[in-house]
Amino acid sequence: MNVPQVLEIKRIIEETPSIKTFIFDWTMVGENIPTPGQFVMVWNFNDEKPMSISYIDIAKGELGITVKNVGEFTNQLHSLEVGDRLGLRGPYGNGFDTDLRDMKVLAIGGGVGMAPIASFAEEALKNKAIVDVVCAAQTKDELLFDERLKEKGATVYTCTDDGSCGFKGFATHRAIELMAMKKYDWAVVCGPEVMMKPLYGTLESNMIDGEYSMERYMKCAIGVCGQCCVDNTGWRICVEGPVFSTDQMSEIIEFGEFHRTASGLKEFY
């Protein structure tokens, strides 16, 4: 849907000191039914930004977005209360494959990148996949959805930069340890590209295919403006992505190297 629905905030969940989840009633019909890995455009009646979908409950007709307070737009969202309104349009993009029955899956999320990982893991578990989750954050207080996924039946391995919870170190190092101990059939990754790029190499060397959720500056979300195109492929993150296969990732030269600002200038990682 390309026209925003103006919706009341039904519930707000304070996930961490810097992250909140906003729950909305959502009409689950046809193309309006979201899938894990898709996103919505969120309009605060002044500006509009893409947000990953972190909760999908078709039975209850609820959709959730999870927002980290990192700037002016997200700070304004964090000031809202239950009953306040936001404009949402979507869902957009390609989501994760969740039809992974009996497959051993390694899902890796860093920071607020755990938002799409959580909705993926829940759906994959419903489809009888065996899911291990590497949940990474800078510190214990910022770990996102680790308890939620344990309750759903995933095996969760936490890691923190400062060692305050679980493994001390980065998601890449934790994943390497797990791959040395276990065999996986599939992997799903979402987080900063400086995290995803080495993970991509590690998973490739272990011959584990999977999917990766990419992030770029998006304006229209319908593939018209070209703002989120990636290098020589011509792929638009909002249409051909945000989820890409291992084979597709091998064709994206800028992966882990640079992205573009709102004006189109390259910013190197």
Report yes or no on whether pTM surpasses 0.75: yes
Q: In what order do the strands lie in the sheet with 186-190?
A: 167-168, 155-160, 130-137, 104-110, 186-190, 210-213, 243-245
Task: Compute the C-alpha angle 206/212/217, nearest 5°.
Answer: 145
pLDDT in tens, 2-33: 889 999 999 999 999 999 999 999 999 988 99
For helices 193-205 and 171-181, what crossing angle results, to 10°?
20
Task: Decide if 5-92 and 104-213 have a common fold.
Answer: no
Annotated binding site for [2Fe-2S] cluster: 220, 225, 228, 238
DSSP per position, 2-14:
-S-EEEE--EEEE
Of 256 and 187, the structure prediction assigns the larger pLDDT to 187
pLDDT in tens, 168-200: 999 999 999 999 999 999 999 999 998 999 999
Annotated binding site: 220, 225, 228, 238
Interacting residues of 30 by C-beta distance below 8 A, sequence separation 6+:
none
pLDDT in tens, 73-131: 999 999 999 999 999 999 999 999 999 999 999 999 999 999 999 999 999 999 999 99
Domain boundaries, the chain: 5-92, 104-213
| Residues above pLDDT 70, as percent of the chain | 100
Structural contact between residues 39 and 216, judged by C-beta atoms closer than 8 angstroms: no
Which residue has 């497959």 as its token pair? 103
Pairing of strands 104-110, 266-268: unpaired
Strand, helix or coil at 56?
strand
Residue 106, beta-bridge partner list: 132, 187
Say which CATH architecture domain 5-92 belongs to: Beta Barrel (2.40)
Say which CATH topology domain 104-213 has.
Rossmann fold (3.40.50)
Residue 1 pLDDT greater than 80, yes or no: no
pLDDT of 257 reads 86
Q: What is the mean pLDDT of the chain?
A: 94
